[in-house]
Chains A and B, each alone.
Chain A
Amino acid sequence: MAQKQFREVIREAIREEMERDENVFIMGEEVAEYNGAYKATQGLLDQFGDKRVLDTPISELGFAGLGVGAAMNGLRPIVEFMTFNFALVGVDQIINNAAKIRYMSGGQVKIPIVFRGPNASAGQLGATHSTSFESFYAHFPGLITIHPSEPYDAKGLLKAAIRDDNPVIFLESEQMYGWKQEVPDEEYLLPIGKAKVKREGKDVTVVADGKMYHVAKKAAEELAKDGVEVELIDPRTIKPFDMKTVIESVKKTNRCVVVDESHPFGGVAAEVGFQIQRDAFDYLDAPVQRVTIPDVPAPFSRKLFDAWIPGPKQVIDAVNTVTYRK
């Protein structure tokens, strides 16, 4: 096992799948000659040539749709968005075409495509560059949405995504590309739709995805010093969402906080909270709490940004609320 960066495992997953299957190709802005805006695709052009590693114009609608067409006709495209903020320009192709054509064709057309790239905020980039899309994409039937927080999960899930016959939204993070974790050298895949209990605890269940997993982890470490044992669940896949693991945990802890980088209205946290009250109501000792970004766009100013992005403190406060400690 070796320590590997998030960007390295993304690259490895793509490389291994391209070596395995000739029909896999990758395209996006600056993925080839520039080696990727965030260097996730470094070296792929040299290895596979420009038939399979393609620089696109800034035409998200065009190349997202081209990818869908290619997938309909037998290929397995990986479409890199420089960030998912820019995918909004092409979102008609993802929601109306990628997500719905299988259904509208009565199942005759399959669309094995992966749309991947960085999601959510990455510091002070202003409102247009800081949106978190996990709740948005998970809203639409027909799409799989994956939001890993660590390199090990990212690699296994990306490989599974590339082999999956559904359109997959695979959300990464600019800020996490350099983060490292022990990752096996031998090949492995992980199942889509399976959460992982990453820390066991008896006092409170905390569910946190993507970058927010790390925020929740810090909070859990702080709380442990205070004698509060958090059971920390990383859903890894947003859709399908592994509610079974969450419900089992809540039945044990009787309390839950959901942490997510979406806005609150109709977000992942809202959905998870709803399902817990429906399926584990009798087990709850306190109303489920959530920690999300506020109901406002991302501000630029450092001071406002720090107030906007959730940190361990908000998670600790929410845990204190559900445990009636404060």
Chain B
Amino acid sequence: MSNTDKASITSRTASITKATDLPKPTRKTHKGLNISEEQLLELYESMYLQRRFEERSMQMYQKGKFGGFLHLYIGQEAVSTGSGFALNQDDDFITAYRDHGHGLVKGITPNEAMAELFGKKDGCSRGKGGSMHYFKPEKHFWGGHGIVGAHLPLAAGIAFANKYQENDRVTICFFGDGAVDQGALNESFNLAQLWKLPVIYVVENNGYSMGTAVHRHSAGKLADRAYPYGMKYDVVNGMDLFSVIDKVSEVAERVRETKEPYFLEVVTYRYRGHSMSDPANYRTKEELEEYKKIDPIERLKTYILDKKLASEKDLEAINEKVEEVVLEAVEFAENSDFPDEKELYQDVYADDDFPYLT
């Protein structure tokens, strides 16, 4: 008998099981979802921008243009894009450290986003936050958060303030499957339900928390965490843009009206390693390939072409435009200055003349 059989506490599954199971995509068409043809192309452009932005970031990172951690969102773009579309512009977004996609969707410009990666003063956090800590509150983007689970209570608070101010805004809070295991999730869920806060909690279940597959880190089904609090919940296909739009629209309407929270498990997949230093040896090539076959961008492209809503050439033109935007962002970031050294002591306190200790 091996050590493993004797008294196994953490279950090691011998065979590689699929990291996550995708629910069926919606059967609704763009018309059924009230998406105009123009909007459809904008959605395509947005997803493609997120993808190319990150591919370029990766390249710049590998060239040594900037340091720190770089967590790529590639593969998950339907979630940020669909949510952004389903919600109003002044609805509030907050997410974890895999935040480039959400930030771009909420109106951080590619220039500001790239400059932040480079640590430059024109970055969306003025070079002080880096990849994991994007911010743009004027566009209702409340961050990029580096500590797993730490932003879930913040989302409850943002929703609390919206309700308090009777402004009808909805808050949406994204986090990874790993964050489901944090105490903060349970405390936030309880408060949000107890106080009836207009917040949508979205777990982007991409199958892994770093190198640990979901079934190895979380007991039961993720979505069921809402159940004991009497919170409404559902599971949706996150590789399909239309499914995300469909579900988040429905949920948003309900949350806006009832002022009660909702928990959505969005099943998705990340193509790259956890961060740049992770070779992702814990999963098979086959698994990755299987998800790439249902790539959200390719899927939308196929839909557009099949329905003859645009030609191959039209999409090519969008791609070229995006390519230019991204290259310009790189150039912008390169040319932006580093923050002045005196910036080190700015933004710690509200006062300009705070008496720092040395």
- Chain A interface residues (CB < 8 Å from chain B): 29-30, 32-34, 37, 48-51, 54-59, 61-62, 85-86, 88-89, 123-129, 264-265, 294-297, 299-305, 307-308
The verdict on A89 contacting B210 (CB below 8 Å), with A304-B127, A307-B344 known, is no
Interface positions, chain B 139-188, Cβ under 8 Å from A, are: 145-150, 178-179, 181-184
Determine whether B132 belongs to the interface, using a CB cutoff of 8 Å to chain A.
yes
Main secondary structure, interface of B, reads loop
Q: A299 to chain B: which residues have CB within 8 Å?
A: 127-128, 339, 343-344
Inter-chain contact B338/A88, CB cutoff 8 Å: no
Inter-chain contact B66/A302, CB cutoff 8 Å: yes
The residue on B at minimum CB distance from A125 is B68
Partner of B68 from the list A37, A126, A308 (CB cut-off 8 Å) is A126
Inter-chain contact B209/A51, CB cutoff 8 Å: no
Main secondary structure, interface of A, reads loop
Q: B2 to chain A: which residues have CB within 8 Å?
A: 49
Bound CA span A88–B150, Å: 10
Inter-chain contact B133/A300, CB cutoff 8 Å: yes
Q: How far is the CB of B204 from chain A (nearest CB, A)?
A: 15
Bound CA span A294–B69, Å: 23
Interchain Cβ contacts under 8 Å between A and B, 17 examples: A33-B12, A49-B8, A58-B179, A89-B147, A89-B149, A89-B184, A123-B68, A124-B68, A125-B130, A128-B132, A128-B145, A264-B357, A300-B68, A301-B128, A303-B339, A307-B341, A307-B344
Q: A33-B216, A301-B127 are known contacts; what are 6 more A-B pairs with Cβ within 8 Å?
A: A50-B3, A58-B181, A124-B68, A125-B130, A301-B120, A304-B343
Bound CA span A305–B341, Å: 9
Q: B127 to chain A: which residues have CB within 8 Å?
A: 299-301, 304
The residue among A55, A58, A85 with the most chain B CB atoms within 10 A of its own CB is A58
Residues of B within 8 A of A (CB-CB), count: 54
Q: How far is the CB of B23 from chain A (nearest CB, A)?
A: 23
Inter-chain contact A34/B133, CB cutoff 8 Å: no
Inter-chain contact B10/A128, CB cutoff 8 Å: no
Bound CA span A62–B339, Å: 40
Inter-chain contact A296/B130, CB cutoff 8 Å: no
Interface positions, chain B 1-27, Cβ under 8 Å from A, are: 2-4, 6-10, 12
Instruction: Encode B49-68 as 1/0 by CB contact (under 8 A) with A.
Output: 00000000000000000111
Q: How far is the CB of B74 from chain A (nearest CB, A)?
A: 21
Determine whether B89 belongs to the interface, using a CB cutoff of 8 Å to chain A.
no
Q: How far is the CB of B350 from chain A (nearest CB, A)?
A: 14
